[in-house]
Structure formats: structure tokens, C-alpha cells
Chain A
Amino acid sequence: EVQLVESGGGLVKPGGSLRLSCAVSGFTFSSYSMNWVRQAPGKALEWVSSISSTDDYIYYADSVRGRFTISRDNAKNALYLQMNSLRADDTAVYYCARDPGNWDPQRLDCWGQGTLVTVSS
């Protein structure tokens, strides 16, 4: 069974940092691109970042570029999102999602349950 489990969310002050993790199982992690998508309370989905299976292609939304860093460890079947200089408008549920595309992000065919990040003083 394919599983994606996010962790690392919590309450952080504006300007602070947080590192999210996504542990995956049930599929060959190193063969898939991965993405982070977030959803602010009561709002629409917002794509955050994408990383290809071998790190060759990495993309960020304009809203997080320069503050967030996506990475992966294929040996540990894990995806990460390092979030720095957090702002109140980064408050959201963060989902990791699998992408069968090889290079550029395409479709998100499996999702985790999400982890809540709250940025507040």
C-alpha cells in the first residue's frame, strides 16, 4: 500500500524556521518526482515546490522562492521542506504528493494526510 506521512508541523513565530518531512512507503521512491502543496484554512490548494527523482529539476512557487528549500533522500525514502523566514501567510496544512513525471511536475497521484504549520506570535 502506498503511504506518505508528513511530520514536523507546529506553531512557530514569524521569522522562524521549520523543517517538514514526508516518509514514504509502498512504492519505489527514487523513481518518482515529489511535490509539496499547501492549503491555508478555508482556502484553495497552492503548489509550493517540486523535485525530480534525481534532484535535477527543482521548482518553487514565487511566494516561497528564496525562503523554502526542497530536498530528498532516496536512501531513506524521505522528502523534506526546509522553511525559513516564515510569515503569517505561510500558515497552512502542508501536503506531500507523489508525481509520476520524470522531470517537470505533472500530476499528483498520491497524497499524504498533511501537517499543519501555524505561524503566529
Chain B
Amino acid sequence: DIQMTQSPSSLSASVGDRVTITCQASQDIRNYLNWYQQQPGKAPKLLIYDASTLETGVPSRFSGSGSGTDFTLTISNLQPEDFATYYCQQFDNPLLTFGGGTKVDIK
């Protein structure tokens, strides 16, 4: 299986900050990487697919980059509704795997 490692596991930030979350795959996954946001007690929501394509309806302050083994999710101008947990997920192998999550909370 492909292991996905996210860092940091948690971070504190303020409204208006720029936040960067990284995700590293245990092997080359090309650009087969998605990002999700999960609010407490809610189902996950797809934010970005194919490493850098914004899902319909997702604000443009979210962006993704990377290929191969190293990927980044950036949130510019952090908004109150962005405080949540974020997960990366690979689909290069049909046995999907998620990262361990990054919790973004209020400083």
C-alpha cells in the first residue's frame, strides 16, 4: 500500500493568515492526489483533485500543488469557516489511502 504522511498534524493560525499543509507519498503517485476538508461532526468535503484542480464551488483561496511524492495545500487569507481538519488522499493505487490529517485551529 502507498503511505501518505501529512505535516504538521496540527497548527494554529489567525484569520487572514496564509496556511500551508504538506503531504508526502511513500512512492511516486504522479498527480493522483486529492484534498478534503472535514468540519467537526460533519462528512468530508472534496476541495482539490488531481493535485491542483479546484472542485466546483470551492473558494479560490484554496490551492494545491505538487507531483510525484510531495504535495502542498495552501489556504490564503484564512477565513473562520476554514478552521477544520484537512486530509490528502492518493488514487495512484486503487487501494485508496488517506493521510493522517492536519487540524487547523484558531490561534
Question: Which residues of A does B touch, CB under 8 Å?
Answer: 35, 37, 44-47, 50, 57, 59-62, 95, 101, 104-109, 111-114
Q: Contacts of A107 on B, CB cut-off 8 Å?
A: 34, 46, 49-50, 89, 91
Q: How far is the CB of A103 from chain B (nearest CB, A)?
A: 9
Q: How far is the CB of A22 from chain B (nearest CB, A)?
A: 12
CB of B59 within 8 Å of the partner chain: no
Q: How far is the CB of B43 from chain A (nearest CB, A)?
A: 4
Question: Which residues of B does A touch, CB under 8 Å?
Answer: 1, 32, 34, 36, 38, 42-46, 49-50, 55, 87, 89, 91, 94-101
Interface contact B87-A62, CB-CB below 8 Å: no
Interface contact B101-A111, CB-CB below 8 Å: no
Pull 14 A–B residue pairs with CB atoms less than 8 Å apart, ordered by A: A35-B96, A44-B87, A44-B98, A44-B99, A45-B38, A45-B44, A45-B89, A47-B97, A47-B98, A57-B94, A59-B95, A106-B91, A111-B43, A111-B45
Q: How far is the CA of A62 from the CA of B55 in the complex (A)?
A: 29
Q: How far is the CA of A60 from the CA of B44 in the complex (A)?
A: 20
Q: How far is the CA of A108 from the CA of B36 in the complex (A)?
A: 9
> Number of A-B pairs whose CB atoms are under 8 Å?
62
Q: How far is the CA of A95 from the CA of B36 in the complex (A)?
A: 14
A45-B95 contact given A107-B46, A111-B43, A114-B43, CB 8 Å threshold: no
Q: Contacts of B101 on A, CB cut-off 8 Å?
A: 44-45
Q: Contacts of A46 on B, CB cut-off 8 Å?
A: 98
Interface contact A59-B94, CB-CB below 8 Å: yes
Q: Contacts of B95 on A, CB cut-off 8 Å?
A: 47, 59-62
Q: How far is the CB of B39 from chain A (nearest CB, A)?
A: 12
Q: How far is the CA of A59 from the CA of B96 in the complex (A)?
A: 9
Q: How far is the CA of A106 from the CA of B34 in the complex (A)?
A: 9
Q: Contacts of A114 on B, CB cut-off 8 Å?
A: 43
